[in-house]
Amino acid sequence: VPAGDGEWRGSVSVGVGAKTSEMAKAGELIKAADDAVYMAKRDGRNCVRVPLTAA
């Protein structure tokens, strides 16, 4: 992204959580998304990860 006389560079790591029937509380969905974002960071960043199982 152009920024003044230079350029700004960044990366994005995204964790996606989807509510399953096993999740009784909102905190479980938040944990699933949080776990997924840490998977994305571990896998090299600049990517999207979705957990395969419920948190």
pLDDT digits (tens, 9 = 90+) for 26-55: 999 999 999 999 999 999 888 999 887 644
Tell me whether residue 32 is exposed, middle or buried, using C-beta atoms within 10 angstroms of its C-beta: 0 to 12, 13 to 18, 19 or more: buried
Strands 48-49 and 14-15: parallel
Looking at residue 41, what is its pLDDT? 92
Q: What is the pTM of this model?
A: 0.68
- HEC-encoded secondary structure of the chain: CEECCEECCCCCCEECCCCCCCCCCHHHHHHHHHHHHHHHHHCCCCCEECCCCCC
Looking at residue 25, what is its pLDDT? 92
Looking at residue 7, what is its pLDDT? 92
* Token pair in block for residue 22: 């096993």
